[in-house]
Structure 1
């Protein structure tokens, strides 16, 4: 991920903190997989395991932030090195929020199980959204490890697909609640759960934007796909 410097110690520090981010990403990815399994099976034990991992994710975020502060204070990086460290900090925050969304899914699953409405809800309709969200996070982590702008752009385009899938699910869920008002309370849990999946896609998109920032020095947040494509050509 990092370029070579005159200081091999600096290289080692950059590689070390980058590796920690990948570890955090792997932990967040595992949380998402477990949360999706808990949802697909309405498995309370799996949901509890997701929640048990939350503290580890939070602790890793704190450790990475502490390490970043130390590197910046001692090395006073500039240009691409500074952009990389800033991107690592922002990526770490987004991965921690992915963990928060996984925990939210787990809590919603337990709430639905406790309500006794699990078998009555169209949870299977969320399969596509689950696959898109988890797949997008995996791609974002791989792209960040390689600082791959081409994949980053593809991720930003695919994020729109998650938004469309979420909107479609909301319409189906509203129809379902109108047909069977007894499921309204549990269906609202499923709605918030779907929103958590959509937010995971947003966090993956944020990571993709940080990749472009590191490589191109262009802040493409809140930019259209056309504007991002133009920035990548410069």
Structure 2
């Protein structure tokens, strides 16, 4: 079981997959959506899977969530454009096509103060942003800032920073850097800190990813 910092749409490209949750057991499907911070496990008995991570700071209401045909608790099943998404990955996926197929941009405006903080975190993922200092800089109380941030991003201030650090690690892995360098560049205290965070967030180890045939498509 793991819980991603942002929402994730998982699709079995070659065969159905199994979504496992503590509350609802195992469900066989071809596509499943898990909102941010919801514990789940995906089992793919065979073939490839596609994981599309959705940053709710760019679409507050959740593009992928709105495109699922049915719900089991907070989890979505059977994406409306599942077949097209699978077909789009038959060769080398086009990020623009995937972005279009995931779902329409749901109307919503991120608070300009939260938007500013989001951009700062993305621009400097290795920096440790403190809630108290950030709230003070925005002229907000810390509890109000944290509630506002969660409202507009569907995740917590800490987990959003964590997610952007992992994205920085992914960029480093894609560039061929060692895990030690990736951890340092992304602001992790150590490689073991990175490994623990990676496993809790993605359900596997960074070493396993490095040893696999996984392909990354960033800024999709």
Structures share a fold, TM > 0.5? no
- Structure number having the greater helix percentage: 1
The structure, 1 or 2, with the larger RCO (C-alpha pairs under 8 Å, 6+ apart) is: 1
